[in-house]
Amino acid sequence: MPQITVDHSEQLTDDFDRPGFAKALHDTVVEIAAARPPACKTQFRRTEASTVGPDTEGHAVVHVTIGLLPGRTEETKARLTEAVLDLLRTHITTGLALHASAEVRDLDASYRKFES
């Protein structure tokens, strides 16, 4: 915890500083949501095809989902979401129309993990 997933259009592959974003995001999650640094895990998933409106030409999409253990206030989640959007602005440089979004949600009570 936290479990972070970043889905992004294939067109952003060369324009998205993913390592820099992940480091800055982890620091932000620690600061705002009181996560432990070694617990932060981010997975990037490049999507082969994205459609925005009537066509895909000139558009790119990125969506960040952060799953946290329950207990954070709605204010904390909103603050974290806004911070994520700010980080995306500074780590993606593209000439495409960028459609960026973020969501912070509580992990389900069934969440379990192991490390080996």
CATH code where residue 94 lies: 3.30.429.10
Structure-block tokens of residue 57: 């030409």
| Rounded mean pLDDT, 82-87 | 98
| pLDDT of 49 above 90 | no
Q: Give residue-wise pLDDT tens across range 8-39.
A: 999 999 999 999 999 999 999 999 999 999 99
Provide the pLDDT for residue 18.
98
Task: Among 46-60, 79-93, 95-109, name the one with the lowest average pLDDT.
Answer: 46-60
Tokens 């000439």 found at: 95
Residue 63 lies in a domain: yes
Residue 109 has φ and ψ, to the nearest 5°, of -60, -20
| Rounded mean pLDDT, 36-50 | 93
pLDDT-above-90 percentage for the chain: 86
Give residue 82's domain range: 3-49+59-106
| pLDDT of 1 above 80 | no
Structure-block tokens of residue 63: 């969506």
Mean pLDDT over each residue of the chain, to the nearest integer: 94
Q: Is 100 exposed, middle or buried (0-12, 13-18, 19+ CB in 10 A)?
A: middle
Provide the pLDDT for residue 55.
72
Peptide bond into 38 cis (omega under 30): no
Residue 16 lies in a domain: yes
How many domains does the chain divide into?
A: 1
